[in-house]
Amino acid sequence: MLRLAFTPALAVLLLIWLVAVVALSDGHWLPTPWDIAGDWTAPTNWPPLAARWLLGSITLALFGGVLIGGAISLKRAVELSENIGQPPTGNHVRFHKVAAAVLTGTTLMMVVAVFVWVLLAHQYEPDAFHAHLGGFMNSTTFASCIGSGVLFAAAALMAIRGTRWVDAADAN
């Protein structure tokens, strides 16, 4: 159980970290690694570059811990599980079907939301939307949004495959 609790605990720590830094910067800056440096001028209410490097690096380390540490802890939890070979009961299958459907539905909603936002931003603020405003890797806001949409679409495809896998397991 401790291995399974590792990822959510570290994700909560990451969230607390982000909220604390935003609160300390009076809501002006979120310590994301992609808002550290570039050939753009940072807003005057952001922390100095050295502070952004330090805080953004801590955020990046926490992101890595959530992803890599979570994968390792989940793998070890599965390896140590005694019940892995036993078929799931009816209640477990129903729970997994509902969870898979919710995950699939929410990721598909995120894909739609990102692409609707892209269309609206392009329509109402095209100059700002296509400007280099310090987005991911100093790309345009458009490129950052398309990247987000592609990542959400990949997550949605994985969720759809997971839902099909749960449905196939239920059929057996």
Where does a domain end: 60, 86, 112?
A: 86
Query: Residues in the chain, how many?
Result: 172
Kindly state the tokens that stand for 54. 């330090």
Where does a domain end: 86, 120, 136?
A: 86
Q: Are residues 95 and 53 in the same domain?
A: no
Q: Are residues 77 and 107 in the same domain?
A: no
Residue range of the domain that includes 144: 87-172
Q: Are residues 110 and 62 in the same domain?
A: no
Q: Are residues 55 and 81 in the same domain?
A: yes
Tell me the CA distances in angstroms from 144 to 38, 119, 121, 136, 166, one per residue in order.
15, 14, 13, 6, 33
Number of Cβ within 10 Å of residue 7's Cβ equals 19
Kindly state the tokens that stand for 105. 């539905």
pLDDT (tens, 9 = 90+) of the chain, 172 residues, equals 777 788 888 889 989 999 999 898 888 888 888 777 666 777 888 888 888 899 989 999 998 888 888 888 878 877 777 665 555 566 666 777 777 788 888 888 988 988 898 888 888 888 887 777 666 666 788 888 888 888 888 888 888 887 777 777 666 6
Q: Are residues 5 and 64 in the same domain?
A: yes
Provide the whole-model pTM.
0.52
